[in-house]
């Protein structure tokens, strides 16, 4: 009789142990550094720090079990030329596991030749690749202010580079946000706090598979 009770107790203990272990939250990776390398669209323009993309994205990833730090390395008004010029300086200051790259919007608004934009982004991606940093390229779409020819050339930049470098790619950073007053500041260009949550979700769809590699 005591033998049966002992067996029953052991089985119950093992059953409860398995359940408890399965419900213990675990970190998928430890202390990964993710850099947001872009312009005002990722820098938190017009927002309190707690609503910055870096803050929101880090919090959401932590809640999903990823031990990551998201660093805001974006600069409002940045162009691809400016980004290229400061990239090496940034990489000398900090080490990153992943860089989320989204530059080109300001170039487009200034009517800069798409060929030059692509050349700059190509050089940026080459530098990151040489340093074995994982990359998520977030694309932009051209407005129609410079005509169809310009728009077609600009919109091809990001998919072509993603294919060339074989990197993770989000076709449009502002998917679900652009042109929607509910998700933008009064200027109609920059995401508000609601919009940032959507941008974060857009990035997470591509970033989480990259983190799990």
**How does DSSP classify residue 184?**
B
**HSE-up (13 A, CA, CB side) for residue 100:** 34
Q: Helix, strand or coil for residue 63? A: helix
CB atoms within 10 A of CB 205: 10
Q: How many residues does the chain have?
A: 213
CA distance 4 to 78: 73
Scan for tokens 């706090």, then name that residue.
Answer: 193
Return the structure tokens found at 117.
Answer: 């934009």
Burial 107-134 (b: 16+ CB within 10 A, else e): bbeeebebeebbebbbebbeebeeeebb
Positions marked active-site: 40, 187, 190
CA distance 118 to 122: 6
């Amino acid at each position: 009789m005591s033998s049966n009770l002992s067996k029953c107790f052991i089985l119950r203990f093992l059953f409860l142990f398995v359940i408890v272990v399965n419900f213990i939250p675990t970190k998928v990776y430890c202390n990964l550094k993710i850099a947001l390398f872009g312009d005002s669209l990722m820098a938190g323009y017009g927002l309190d720090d707690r609503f910055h993309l870096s803050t929101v994205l880090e919090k959401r990833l932590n809640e999903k079990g990823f031990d990551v730090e998201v660093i805001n390395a974006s600069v409002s008004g940045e162009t691809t030329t400016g980004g290229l010029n400061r990239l090496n300086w940034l990489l000398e200051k900090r080490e990153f596991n992943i860089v989320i790259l989204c530059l080109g919007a300001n170039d487009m608004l200034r009517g800069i030749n798409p060929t030059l934009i692509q050349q700059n982004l190509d050089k940026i991606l080459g530098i990151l690749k040489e340093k074995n940093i994982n990359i998520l390229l977030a694309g932009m779409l051209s407005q129609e202010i410079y005509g169809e020819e310009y728009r077609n050339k600009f919109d091809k930049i990001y998919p072509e580079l993603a294919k060339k470098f074989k990197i993770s790619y989000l076709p449009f950073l502002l998917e679900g946000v652009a042109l929607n007053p509910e998700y933008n500041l009064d200027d109609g260009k920059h995401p508000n706090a609601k919009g940032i949550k959507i941008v974060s979700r857009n990035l997470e769809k591509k970033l989480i598979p990259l983190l799990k590699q």
